[in-house]
Chain A
Amino acid sequence: MRAALAVLVLALLGLALLVGATGFGVPEAAILWELRLPRALLAALIGGGLGLSGAVLQGAVRNPLADPALLGIGGAAGLGVVLAFYWGLGLAFAPALPLAGLVGAALGCCVLFAFAGRAPSAPSLILAGVGLSALASAMQVLALAFAPNPYALAEVTFWLMGGLADRAPLHVALAAPPILLGGAIMLRLGRGLDALALGEETAASLGVPVGRTLALAAAGVALVVGAATAVGGGIGFVGLVVPHLLRPFLGERPSALLAGSARGGAALLLAADLVARAAPLLLPLSQEPPLGVLTALLGAPFLVRIARRMAP
Chain B
Amino acid sequence: MIAWHDSPVVIGGRTILHRVAFRAKAGELVALVGPNGAGKSTLLRALAGLLPGAPKQDSRRVAWLPQGARCAWGLTVAEVAALGRIPHGDADPAPVERALAACGLLELRDSRIDRLSGGQARRAMLARVLAGEPAVLLLDEPTADLDPAAAHEVMALLRVRARAGACVVVVLHDLGLALQHATRMVVLADGRITADATPGDALPAAAAAFGLPYGLDKRPRLLPPVR
Contact = CB atoms under 8 A, between A and B. Distances in A.
Q: Do chains A and B touch in the complex (CB under 8 A)?
A: yes
Interface of A: 62-63, 191, 194-199, 201-202, 204-208, 251-254
A207 B59 contact: yes
A63 B65 CA distance: 22
Contact of B83 (A63, A201, A206, A251): A206
Nearest to A192: B86
Nearest to A64: B73
Contacts of A254: 73
A192 to B, nearest CB: 9
A195 B75 contact: no
Interface in B135-180: none
Given A199-B69, A252-B112, A206 B86 contact: yes
Nearest to B71: A197
A191 B91 CA distance: 11
Nearest to A197: B72
11 contacts: A191-B86, A195-B83, A195-B86, A196-B72, A198-B70, A199-B66, A199-B72, A201-B66, A206-B86, A207-B60, A253-B73
What is the predominant secondary structure among interface residues of chain A facing chain B? loop
B37 to A, nearest CB: 19
Nearest to A205: B64
B74 interface: yes
Nearest to B58: A207
Given A205-B64, A208-B86, A251 B76 contact: yes
B173 to A, nearest CB: 21
A253 B86 contact: no
Contacts of A207: 58-60, 86-87
Given A251-B79, A253-B73, A253-B75, A204 B50 contact: yes
Contacts of B72: 62-63, 196-199
Given A191-B86, A206-B86, A207-B86, A201 B50 contact: yes
B75 A252 contact: yes
Contact of A197 (B73, B89, B132): B73
A139 B132 CA distance: 50
B78 to A, nearest CB: 11
B216 to A, nearest CB: 38
